[in-house]
Amino acid sequence: MLRHLLQVSLVSAVFSAAVFAADPACVKKVPDVSTKLPLVFCDDFQSGSSENWLPGDPKAWKMTKLGDNFAFDQFQQSKVKNPVRSPFNRCLIKDVTVSDFVLDLKFQSTKKDYGHRDLCLFFGFQDPSHHYYVHFGKKTDDHANQIFIVDEKPRTKISTRTTEGTNWDDEWHHARIFREVKSGRIEIYYDDMKTPVMTATDKTFTWGQVGIGSFDDTGRFDNVYLFGNPVNKSK
């Protein structure tokens, strides 16, 4: 529990205003996410490089060219051993830690359709035993299409609202996470950016890394934008 009680401080305003852009061109096409938080990271993968990402298993990820566009592709299962039951496929934004944030991106499921077809987004990530994730699952149950916390035990559902399921097909979709640590508010959006498809309230983790992946499926990711309050961790 000491990890959860680490003191965190906001980085200086000068640093907060700086954007870590994997490709400077992505700064020119910032989406309107209706937030006052500064843009701290963006990656449209047009550089053809994934050097700004930290995958759990690098062999499960690759850059894929789709016409004139590059996407970051989790194309096979990661060979990792999680300390507790949680998603196997995970790739974090490197060297960026935030408290409040908005994550906006596009993603595409590449798995054959079935009941638990999924992609996941990670946040508040402190280590494999301490983080949140949202599971966009085809059909909802206690282990699918929910917001989860991983806190030294197998993932636990914390959603206060969800839908009957995420209507996956083979097309690209738009996702967004809104996180406010003071209130504990978590809102998840899918295609419709006006009405959240999932909500939760939790204050366990007030900072962490942000990432992409799936529980045990495959998918592609593109146009990743992270707005947030960067934090320094001091033990």
H helix or E strand, kind and range, residue 227: strand 219-234
Query: CA-CA distances (angstroms) from residue 111 to 74, 138, 168?
Result: 11, 11, 10
pLDDT for residue 73: 98
CB-based contact 145:139 (threshold 8 Å): yes
* Ordered per-residue pLDDT tens for the chain, 235 residues: 333 333 333 333 333 345 666 667 788 889 999 999 999 999 999 999 999 999 999 999 999 999 999 999 999 999 999 999 999 999 999 999 999 999 999 999 999 999 999 999 999 999 999 999 999 999 999 999 999 999 999 999 999 999 999 999 999 999 999 999 999 999 999 999 999 999 999 999 999 999 999 999 999 999 999 999 999 875 4
Domains of the chain, by residue range, sit at: 2-234
Return the structure tokens found at 46: 């047009």
Percent of the chain residues past pLDDT 70, beyond the cut: 89
Helix runs in the chain, H state only: 13-17
In CATH terms, 2-234 corresponds, of 3.40.47.10, 3.20.20.70, 2.60.120.560, 3.80.30.20, to 2.60.120.560
Amino acid at 60: A
What Rg value do the Cα atoms of the chain yield, rounded? 16
The H-or-E segment that residue 43 falls in is: strand 39-43
Neighbours of 28 (CB within 10 A): 10
Q: CA 152, 153, 159 angle in degrees (round to 5)?
A: 105
Is the overall model pTM greater than 0.85, yes or no? yes
- Please name the residue that has the structure tokens 């096409």: 29
Could you read off the pLDDT of 127-168 as tens digits, one per residue? 999 999 999 999 999 999 999 999 999 999 999 999 999 999
